[in-house]
Amino acid sequence: MIVRRTSRTEILAKLHAKVAARKPVFIASAGSGLVAKLLEEAGVDCINTFSGARLRANGMGTMAMLWPILDSNKQTLDYTEQDILPAIRGHAFVCACLNANDPLRDMRSVLQRLLDMGVNSVSNIGPSLSYVDKDSVVYQVLTKSGIRFEHEIEMLALAREMGHVTVGLAFDMEDSLALAGGARPDVFCFHAGTTKGGRTGYDSGETIAGTARRTEEVYQAVRKIHPEAILVAHGAAMETPQDAQYVLEHTSGHGFWTGSSTERLPIERAVSGAAREFAALTFPAAAR
């Protein structure tokens, strides 16, 4: 297998062409090679890999990656190289989500390894400290121990210098502004919260109108600091294609990022439905 190489210039040219043509930029996460193959065939622009997606593929929730049950960066590096890259043809580019607060790795070497394997796009959501509520004891303990959002910003800035396309992500206004100004990512994604629906989704009770409203508030603020950024939406009440359409129509962004919506939820529905049909099969009545 020889994985097709691409470049930062080629990727950005494609993304900016879609923005100019008023076609939504489409990023989607994949926890397995099969999902990645299907996403690429469906026309996604970017296939996103991270330990949360791999855990989703094994029946766990995305937030499981926050607990110390695995080496997040090792998981991402290994399955991106072994499962994802061999499964696709290179029409979509791969963005690896990294843990910039990994205490056992020099992030420069991780970024270089990705370039060497043919991945030249990274994000800071593998996991991100922005996931954690700032008024929580957990957040205070983490920051006291040296785990900081600033390290994610520094990693994205270095990645851009090294030739990566950077996809910055944040959960609230404060982190969004800090990331936009400090890292100036090529793509900025506002993560509105864990996607609702299915077995492991979380429903905060927010409507799609509320998700769109919060997303647009962040877009407007980020645009003042970093007007060149491609803006995409993700999460919370944006569960279905109809929800994503609502966000496109009620925000000034350029696209969307799906995770559970094009991975966990369709798999749950399809496999459960097909298995129930097989489970309902019977032998013909015995001849009398």
pTM, to two decimals: 0.90
- First-last CA distance in the chain: 58
Highest mean pLDDT among 48-62, 133-147, 156-170 belongs to 156-170
Q: Do the Cβ atoms of 212 and 193 come closer than 8 Å?
A: no
Cα dihedral across residues 236, 240, 242, 248: positive or negative:
positive
Number of H helices, E strands in the chain: 11, 8
Residue written as tokens 């979380």? 202
Q: Do the Cβ atoms of 149 and 175 come closer than 8 Å?
A: yes
Tokens of 106: 């020099």
pLDDT tens digits, 154-191: 999 999 999 999 999 999 999 999 999 999 999 999 99
Tokens of 243: 């929800």
Q: Where are the alpha helices (DSSP H) in the chain?
A: 8-20, 33-42, 51-57, 72-79, 107-117, 137-144, 149-161, 173-183, 208-225, 241-250, 264-279
Q: Domains in the chain, start-ordered, CATH in brackets?
A: 8-263 (3.20.20.70)
pLDDT tens digits, 199-246: 444 455 789 999 999 999 999 999 999 999 999 999 888 989 999 999
- How far apart, in Å, are the Cα atoms of 27 and each of 13, 71, 286? 16, 24, 54
Residue 66 has pLDDT above 90, yes or no: no
